[in-house]
């Protein structure tokens, strides 16, 4: 019997299909986000193969149960009330990385830093510009993650994906609408189970110099050891979000346990058991200050999810 209190929900959840993987009820999402913030989700499932993922998606579709796909939780702000429905996270069975000549295939749950390191060790260039970017390959594709020296879309060839009805697809990168920190993956409601990249032979020493420089810069300018969700806002077309926030004197600004980083103004840190409401309120204040000063509407790079 599930631990869900609503009798109707409990009845539906008791009919969940058996899968290879794990299923938990009323799971605190604070355990699954880099912010360490977030209320409970009704059901948290970690399938280890495509068949289990397909069965869960079909079950949710037939039961009218909302589904949210998450990766490593490095850019999520989950509401304090939590999430109603099913949260799916791909298990380690989706974490394989295979180097086949200049083509590299990585599972959706593969860690992006591991993928970058493996391509560098293989003498393949094209992903070193992603050095220091956290998260999973699936999440990185969804957000077209990157740095000033490169993004996922630069070398992505195609993805294997499954939609909310359990149907599988092979899509070319050109089908995904890849743009600055965005793609059509979320709009299309897809789970990226595998991604293929086409790289090129490079000079190992030069590639490793680029990667090391990015990592050194991150260490010096970003609070990566703190509880954050990465960059809070996307950079506007004209200007830099962090510089704008710093210019309005907001470094160190605090709401409850949430604080604008003193190291990089486009990062919000959880410095004292911050609630999601604390972070959201702080984000709203920053948007207002920047708009009043520069006339710019800062758009969140962090994804706000759940029952607000």
Catalytic residues: 181, 231, 301
Cα–Cα distance, 36 to 78 (Å, whole number) = 9
- In whole angstroms, how large is the CA radius of gyration of the chain? 20
Cα–Cα distance, 270 to 278 (Å, whole number) = 9
Two tokens at 232?
A: 């809070």
Two tokens at 262?
A: 């003193």
Cα–Cα distance, 20 to 22 (Å, whole number) = 7
Nearest by Cα to 189 from 57, 38, 15, 18: 57
Cα–Cα distance, 154 to 144 (Å, whole number) = 9
Cα–Cα distance, 240 to 285 (Å, whole number) = 17
Q: Are 112 and 134 in contact (CB under 8 A)?
A: yes
Under 8 Å CB-to-CB from 47, ≥6 apart: which residues? 19, 20, 21, 53, 55, 56, 88, 90, 91, 93
Q: Round to the nearest angstrom and report the end-to-end CA distance of the chain.
A: 28
Cα–Cα distance, 185 to 48 (Å, whole number) = 21
Cα–Cα distance list, 130 to 133, 238, 303 (Å): 6, 23, 20
């Amino acid at each position: 019997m599930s631990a869900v209190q609503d009798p109707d929900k409990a009845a539906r959840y008791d009919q969940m299909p058996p899968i290879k993987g794990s299923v938990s009820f009323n799971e605190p999402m604070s355990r699954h986000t880099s912010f360490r913030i977030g209320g409970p989700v009704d059901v948290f499932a970690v399938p280890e193969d495509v068949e289990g993922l397909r069965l869960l998606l079909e079950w949710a579709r037939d039961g009218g149960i909302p589904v949210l796909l998450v990766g490593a939780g490095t850019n999520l702000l989950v509401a304090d009330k939590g999430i109603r429905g099913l949260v799916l996270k791909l298990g380690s069975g989706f974490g394989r990385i295979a180097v086949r000549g200049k083509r590299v295939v990585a599972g959706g749950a593969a860690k992006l830093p591991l993928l970058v390191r493996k391509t560098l060790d293989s003498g393949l260039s094209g992903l070193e510009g992603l050095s220091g970017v956290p998260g999973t390959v699936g999440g990185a594709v969804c957000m077209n993650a990157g740095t000033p020296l490169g993004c996922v879309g630069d070398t992505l060839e195609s993805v294997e994906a499954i939609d909310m009805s359990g149907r599988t697809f092979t899509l070319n990168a050109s089908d995904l609408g890849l743009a600055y920190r965005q793609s059509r993956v979320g709009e299309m409601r897809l789970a990226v189970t595998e991604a293929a990249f086409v790289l090129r032979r490079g000079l190992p020493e030069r590639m490793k110099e680029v990667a090391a420089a990015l990592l050194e810069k991150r260490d010096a300018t970003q609070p990566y050891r703190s509880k954050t969700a990465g960059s809070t806002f996307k950079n506007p077309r004209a200007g830099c979000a962090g510089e704008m926030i710093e210019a309005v004197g907001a470094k160190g600004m605090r709401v409850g346990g949430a604080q604008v980083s003193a190291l990089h103004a486009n990062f919000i840190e959880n410095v004292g058991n911050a609630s999601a409401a604390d972070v959201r309120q702080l984000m709203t204040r920053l948007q207002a200050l920047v708009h009043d000063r520069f006339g710019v509407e800062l758009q969140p790079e962090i994804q706000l999810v759940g029952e607000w």
